[in-house]
Amino acid sequence: MSWDATTALGVNISGADITKSQSASWTNCIARTSDTLTFTSTETSIEMSFNSTDHSHVKLGIGRDPFNDGASKTWHDINYGFGDDMVIINGVNTTPDTSFSTTNTSTVKLVLNSSTNNITFYHNGTQIHQTTYPTGQTWYGIFAAYSTGQGASLDSINSVTSTPSTSGDFNNAHAHLKPLQVFRRQRDWF
Residue 128 is which amino acid? I
What is the spatial distance between Cα 173 and Cα 162, in angstroms, rounded to a whole number?
9
Q: List the domain range (segments joined by +) for residue 25.
A: 11-162
Cβ–Cβ under 8 Å, residues 45 and 110: yes
Q: How many domains does the chain have?
A: 1
Residue 129 is which amino acid? H
What is the spatial distance between Cα 43 and Cα 50, in angstroms, rounded to a whole number?
23
Asked if residue 167 belongs to a domain, the reply is no
**Cα–Cα–Cα angle for 124, 32, 139, rounded to 5 degrees:** 80
What's the whole-model pTM score? 0.79
Question: Residue 106's domain is classified under what CATH number?
Answer: 2.60.120.920
- Per-residue pLDDT of 17-75, as tens digits, reads 999 999 999 999 999 998 887 665 577 778 888 776 667 889 999 998 877 766 678 88
